Amino acid sequence: MSSSISCIRSFSRQYLPVLLLWIMGVGTAQAQSDSVRSLARRFNQYQQQTLQEKLYLHLDRPLYLTGETMWFKVYAVDGTYAQPLAQSAVVYVEVLDKNRRAVLQGKVPLAKAIGQGSFQLPSSLNSGSYTVRAYTSWMKNFSPEYYFHSPVTIVNTARASGVVSTLDTASYDVHFFPEGGNLVRGIASKVAFKVTDRAGRSIPVVGTLLDAQGKSLTTFKTLRFGMGAFTFTPAAEAAYTAVLKLPSGRIVSRKLPAVYRAGYVMHLEEAGLQQIRIVVQTTDADADRVDLLGHARQQLTTATSAPIRNGQAEFLINKATLSEGISHFTVFNHRHQPVCERLYFQRPKQQLTIKAQLDKGQYATRQKVNLQLTTATASQPLPANLSVAVYRLDSLAAPAPSITSYLWLASDLKGMVENPDYYFTSTEPEAAAATENLMLTHGWSRFRWEDVLANRLPAFQYLPELQSHLVRGRITHQGTGQPAPDITAYLSSPSRLIRLANSISARDGSIQFEVDDFYGTRDIVVQTNTQHDSTYAVEIFSPFSQQYATGVFSSVFTPYPRFKNAFTQRHVQAQVQNAYFRRYNNLYTLPDTDSLAFYGMPDERYMLDDYTRFKTLEEVLREYVPGVKVRIKKDGFHFTVLDNPNRSIFSDPPLVLLDGMPVFNTNRIMAMDPLKIQKLEVLDSRYFQGRSMYSGIVSFTTYKGNLDGFPLDPKALVQEYEGMQLQREFYAPRYETPAQQQSRLPDLRNLLYWNPAVTTTSAARALEFYTSDQPGMYQVVVQGLAANGLSGSTSLAFEVSQAL
């Protein structure tokens, strides 16, 4: 027994320190694992509740003249997998000037995640650089940086030569971006930089880094698109200065970001073909570990932890575990605080391959062009939805970003990215370094880590428009302006299509109406039941966002003298086209609408011309409308409707409509001339609409559907409201017969063809169009998206000659 105890004691003395170290190591590893799991869990919870939408607009051209039509197609995808997302039924499209003022606005209907629209550019626009932006109602819950943005140039040739640039050409934007976020004393840091002029155009520079005493530490220069990088080790918390030499020879100096006494620095580098290495250095004496989370478009790909030894932690990450596109790597300290962030880009390995083939390489004027399109992956055909534009190339045009470069790159970066297609197509040796510089200078997240860690969701003020457009407003007390909750409001737009929407105000007085089949500009009538609620005021809000992104707006476009001939030519072309083809500018495809009233088939319907026409409505109702009972009390006429299902009469009055507009004062409707009314419908049962219940419905329809002079209640809000865009038809002449080919009408079209609704199958899709009277080089641009999220684009050029 004593021998056994002695052995145990001996074992304990020999192995207890090792055992304790092992237990402590297990405990530390467990704590690290728990820490990472906690971060990952919070991230996933946040991501699952904040679905992101992305939009891409294929604009038919990058440059327009006033008087021309801007055509566009909308692709809607989810923000994680870039697959078509049929969540929203409406997209809001705006053209903004340099002052962020909307010069054109439109609501474009979406069906199955695609839509199409257009703007007629008014002659009142000044020549300049504009921004086209687009978003949905749901996207308004998040930062306006998420909205689609694309620069376009609009030229008013009638006064282009008189445009004076307000651009301060002597001013430049110079920004420095330490890798990971901060400069820390004593730790080597990679610092990226970007130099642009006030118009956002990149500037090539060479520079020198100076310390506080003016000593030169290193030299550097831009690589691509005004971006570059250099490495140095801050020796003190003093200020460092970069001296830059511009192409003009001018010298400018800018301060670097502040140097911190303590903190964290991260560095990402390639570790062979299959891995990347992330090194984290810190001067924090209390730091024992760091956690690393990696995600791409809010999809978690990396969650790991590493100990800090000698002030440094290292991570090796297999590229195969990362998603395609942009990955965000965030470093957290032992207090769960984000301390560094870095972006990394992987080109998508698989894209939608679009092949476009012309039957010729050169065409005569007014000749047919045959175009064949096929879509596939690397191994097999893949059906896709495409949009096709064919326009004349000139010295004024610049390429627009493709759908792939936008969805997988530009949409996840802050600010405008110059030539995003370069990062997908370039095979130059410097392309990798240029991509790194882009990641370092455009770092940005679609969320705040503070919100994720605190389990704090954004305030979802705007609902997604799942079926149709939502008209939003507010009800207040007329005297005090205070919100009026639990008040029922009615929205109608008088017409022969009987539509009515209602809403009960929330605690803050807000109301919203879901309107169907609302196209074009129409008058709306919004009112409460004035027989009961006579002290309320109603206002309707604009659905367009009042929040604006930063760094995406260009300055005034300057018509350089070398473009004079091009301007003159385009001016003549535009004037000729407007003179001879203006009538084709406003051809519309009318949408399919349901002519049935919102309440469905009525129980009784009377076409009054089929009956004896009496002089008063009282006689009409009493003589041959058995479902409506007319009673006269001290305050005038009252209606009640038969409750046929229960074989009784409703005790409450019915909903009375005139051309779809509620009428709460029965005396007014009874005073109307019955000869103005064409149709009368009665619903003799209860009808539920939203949270409202009607004790039957009595609906009068005039011949014109415009109320025909009926006096509106003075408390009703009458407002002109623009609904969704009608679909404008693209017109292009055809030259199939000798008579058409010999027509003396000039054809100076710059845009030969626009088709936003091209679908492909396993077989080739054939398209055809005709050239115009303008010789020159023309560009075919095709953008497309498949149902599985693969996107692609292609372009090719052909020549049109006067005679062949």
| DSSP-assigned states of every residue in 627-690 | TEEEEEETTEEEEEEEEGGGTEE-SSPPEEEETTEE---HHHHHTS-GGGEEEEEEEEEEEEET
pTM of the model: 0.90
Give the containing element (helix H, strand E) for 338: strand 338-346
Under a CB-based contact definition with an 8 Å cutoff, are residues 465 and 90 in contact?
A: yes
pLDDT at position 4 is 35
Taking the mean position of all CA atoms in its chain, how far away is CA 407? 11
Q: Given phi > 0 = left and psi -120 to 50 = alpha, else beta, which region is 320?
A: alpha
**pLDDT single digits (tens) 577-626:** 777 777 787 888 888 888 899 999 999 999 999 998 999 999 999 999 99
780: helix, strand or coil:
strand
25: helix, strand or coil:
helix
Under a CB-based contact definition with an 8 Å cutoff, are residues 114 and 73 in contact?
A: yes
What value does the mean pLDDT of the chain take?
88
Report the 10 Å Cβ neighbour count for 260: 16
pLDDT at position 78 is 94
What are the backbone angles phi and psi of residue 182, rounded to the nearest 5°? Answer: -135, 155
Q: Half-sphere exposure of residue 669, counting CA atoms within 13 Å on the CB side? A: 24
Report the 10 Å Cβ neighbour count for 661: 25
| d(C-alpha 293, C-alpha 20), whole Å | 31
**Which letter does DSSP use for residue 389 in this model?**
E
Taking the mean position of all CA atoms in its chain, how far away is CA 16? 63
| d(C-alpha 685, C-alpha 668), whole Å | 24
pLDDT at position 553 is 58
Which amino acid is it at 554? S
CB within 8 A of 4, min separation 6: which ones? none
Report the 10 Å Cβ neighbour count for 272: 9
| d(C-alpha 99, C-alpha 554), whole Å | 9
Residue with tokens 């192995």: 15
pLDDT at position 803 is 66
| d(C-alpha 376, C-alpha 382), whole Å | 4
Instruction: Give me the sign of the Cα torsion angle 198, 200, 201, 206.
Output: positive
Residue with tokens 């609501």: 107
pLDDT at position 564 is 66
Under a CB-based contact definition with an 8 Å cutoff, are residues 179 and 266 in contact?
A: yes
State which residues of the chain have pLDDT below 70: 1-34, 160-170, 395-399, 444-446, 551-564, 803-804
* Closest alpha carbon to 206 in 169, 248, 171, 236: 248
- Beta-sheet pairing, 63-65 with 148-155: parallel
Taking the mean position of all CA atoms in its chain, how far away is CA 322? 26
**pLDDT single digits (tens) 428-476:** 989 999 999 999 998 766 677 777 877 777 778 999 999 999 999 999 9
CB within 8 A of 678, min separation 6: which ones? 607, 608, 609, 701, 702, 703
| d(C-alpha 248, C-alpha 245), whole Å | 8
Report the 10 Å Cβ neighbour count for 41: 12
Q: Given phi > 0 = left and psi -120 to 50 = alpha, else beta, which region is 551?
A: left
| d(C-alpha 65, C-alpha 63), whole Å | 7
pLDDT at position 36 is 86
| d(C-alpha 368, C-alpha 740), whole Å | 12
Alpha-carbon Rg for the chain in angstroms: 34
Which amino acid is it at 659? D
Report the 10 Å Cβ neighbour count for 541: 13
Token duo for residue 298: 């809010």
Report the 10 Å Cβ neighbour count for 244: 21
| d(C-alpha 294, C-alpha 326), whole Å | 10
Contacts 24+ apart (CB under 8 A), 374-380: 374/760, 374/764, 374/765, 375/760, 375/784, 375/786, 375/792, 376/352, 377/350, 377/352, 377/353, 377/790, 378/350, 378/353
CB within 8 A of 270, min separation 6: which ones? 276, 277
Q: How far apart are the first and last CA of the chain?
A: 114
Under a CB-based contact definition with an 8 Å cutoff, are residues 638 and 680 in contact?
A: no
